C-alpha cells in the first residue's frame, strides 16, 4: 500500500513538472515571437499603413504606435476604400511593394485576399475576436464594425412614428422625406440575402418608389437628418448619430431587424517591405490598447473584451453575420441598387 502511494505521488510530481515545462515553454515561445518581431522591426525602422480611417483617427493611432515603439516610424496613407484598393492594385501591377499593413472594407479586403495580395498571420490577439470577425485561414481580422441603422430627426418625427420594421419605411408618411448614401451596396446585398432574392427585389422596388434623396457619404446623410432636410436617413452609421447627439443635434436612431454590419479587415501585405514592423503594427491595432483607441473615436471595437464608449451601440441589436456574397456579384448588385433605388 505504501509503495502504491509512493508511485502515485511520484506520478503526480512528474505530471505537474511536465505541465510546468509545457506552460513555461509556451510562454517562452510567445515571448520569443514578440522579441523576434521587435528585433526585426528595429532593423526595418519603418512601417507603411494604408487605411480608410479618418485622417485624425489614423494619425492618432500611428502616433500612439510610435510612442510604444519609438524605433519605428509609422507612415500612414488614408483614403476611401475604392481609392485604397485601386492604389494597391496599381502598385501590384507595377511590381512596386509599398504598403506593409492595410485596413479596408470587407469587399475590397476579400478581393485582395483572392488576388494573393495578403499574407497569413495568426496574431496572438486574434483569440479575442469572434470567429465571424476573422478570416478562418488567418488572412485578416476585423478592426471595427459599422452598423447600418435608421436615423431620424427627433423634432420632426413623433416617437410613435419611429419605424419598427423595414416595411414601415414603405408607408406614405415617408415619401419624399428620406435620404440614403449613393453607395450603400453592402446593406443592399445583405438585405436581399436576408429576405430572399424575389422578396428582396420586390421590397427594394417599393422602397425606390418612396423618392429617396441620395447623397454620397454616411456622415453627410446623417447631417441632412440633423438639419431637417429630410426626416429619416436609411443605412446611416449609429456611431455617427451618437456622436452628433453628444453635440446637441436633434437626432436618434433605431436598429431594425436585421442590423447589417460593415466590417473592416486588417491584414499584412503578402509582399511587405517591412514584414516584422507590419505584424507588430497589426498586433498593436488589435490589442486592448489599440481597440480602446478605436472606441474613443465613437467606433465599435470588434474585440470581445473592449466595449464601445456608448454601450447601446451594439447592445440588444440583431446583427447579421457578415457575408462576402457581394464580392461574387459586385457589378450586379451595384447595377440593381442604382436601378431600383436611385432610378438610374
Residue 253 is given by DSSP the state E
Cα(160)–Cα(254) distance, integer angstroms: 13
Q: Identify which of 161, 158, 121, 159 has the alpha carbon closest to the alpha carbon of residue 137.
A: 121
Output the pLDDT for position 328. 87
Other CB atoms within 10 Å distance of the CB of residue 126: 19
Contacts of 144 (CB under 8 A, 6+ apart): 264, 291, 294, 299, 300, 301, 302
The residue whose grid cell reads 494619425 is 59
Q: What is the pLDDT along the chain (344 residues), one digit of tens a residue?
A: 444 444 444 444 444 444 444 444 444 444 578 899 999 999 999 999 999 999 999 999 999 999 999 999 999 999 999 899 999 999 999 999 999 999 999 989 999 999 999 999 999 999 999 999 999 999 999 999 999 999 999 999 999 999 999 999 999 999 999 999 999 999 999 999 999 999 999 999 999 999 999 999 999 999 999 999 999 999 999 999 999 999 999 999 999 999 999 999 999 999 999 999 999 999 999 999 999 999 999 999 999 999 999 988 988 899 999 888 788 888 999 999 999 999 98
**Bridge partner residues of 103 (DSSP):** 51, 266
- CA atoms within a 13 Å half-sphere pointing along the CA-CB vector of 141: 28
Per-residue pLDDT tens over the stretch 105-137: 998 999 999 999 999 999 999 999 999 999 999
Output the pLDDT for position 22. 44
Distances, alpha carbon 202 to alpha carbons 25, 96, 166, 198, in Å:
60, 46, 13, 6
Helices (H), ranges, 94-208? 106-114, 185-195, 197-208
Output the pLDDT for position 31. 56
The residue whose grid cell reads 442590423 is 259
313-344: string of b/e by CB count within 10 Å (b at 16+)? bbeebebbebbbebbeeeeebeebbbebbeee
Residue 78 · residue 48 · CB < 8 Å: no
Burial of 305 (C-beta count, 10 Å sphere; 0-12/13-18/19+): exposed
Amino acid at each position: 500500500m505504501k509503495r502504491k502511494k509512493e508511485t502515485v505521488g511520484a506520478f503526480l510530481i512528474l505530471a505537474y513538472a511536465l505541465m510546468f515545462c509545457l506552460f513555461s515553454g509556451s510562454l517562452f515561445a510567445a515571448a520569443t515571437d514578440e522579441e523576434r518581431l521587435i528585433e526585426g522591426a528595429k532593423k526595418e525602422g519603418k512601417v507603411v499603413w494604408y487605411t480608410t480611417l479618418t485622417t485624425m483617427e489614423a494619425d492618432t493611432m500611428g502616433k500612439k504606435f510610435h510612442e510604444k515603439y519609438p524605433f519605428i516610424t509609422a507612415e500612414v496613407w488614408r483614403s476611401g476604400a475604392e481609392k485604397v484598393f485601386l492604389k494597391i492594385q496599381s502598385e501590384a501591377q507595377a511590381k512596386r511593394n509599398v504598403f506593409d499593413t492595410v485596413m479596408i472594407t470587407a469587399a475590397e479586403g476579400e478581393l485582395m485576399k483572392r488576388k494573393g495580395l495578403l499574407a497569413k498571420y495568426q496574431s496572438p490577439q486574434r483569440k479575442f475576436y469572434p470567429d465571424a470577425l476573422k478570416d478562418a485561414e488567418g488572412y485578416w481580422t476585423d478592426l471595427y464594425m459599422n452598423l447600418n441603422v435608421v436615423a431620424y430627426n427627433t423634432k420632426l418625427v413623433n416617437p410613435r412614428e419611429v419605424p419598427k420594421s423595414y416595411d414601415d419605411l414603405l408607408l406614405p408618411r415617408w415619401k419624399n422625406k428620406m435620404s440614403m448614401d449613393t453607395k450603400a451596396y453592402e446593406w443592399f446585398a445583405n438585405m436581399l440575402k436576408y429576405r430572399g432574392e424575389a422578396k428582396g427585389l420586390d421590397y427594394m422596388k417599393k422602397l425606390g418608389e418612396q423618392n429617396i434623396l441620395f447623397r454620397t457619404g454616411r456622415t453627410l446623410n446623417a447631417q441632412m437628418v440633423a438639419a431637417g432636410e429630410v426626416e429619416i436617413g436609411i443605412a446611416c452609421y449609429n456611431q455617427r448619430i451618437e456622436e452628433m447627439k453628444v453635440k446637441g443635434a436633434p437626432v436618434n436612431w433605431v436598429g431594425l431587424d436585421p442590423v447589417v454590419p460593415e466590417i473592416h479587415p486588417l491584414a499584412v501585405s503578402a509582399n511587405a517591405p517591412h514584414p516584422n514592423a507590419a505584424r507588430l503594427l497589426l498586433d498593436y491595432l488589435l490589442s486592448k490598447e489599440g481597440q480602446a483607441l478605436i472606441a474613443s473615436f465613437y467606433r465599435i471595437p470588434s474585440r470581445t473584451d473592449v466595449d464601445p464608449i456608448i454601450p447601446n451601440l451594439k447592445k440588444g441589436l440583431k446583427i447579421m453575420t457578415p457575408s462576402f456574397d457581394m464580392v461574387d456579384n459586385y457589378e450586379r448588385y451595384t447595377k440593381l441598387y442604382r436601378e431600383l433605388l436611385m432610378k438610374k
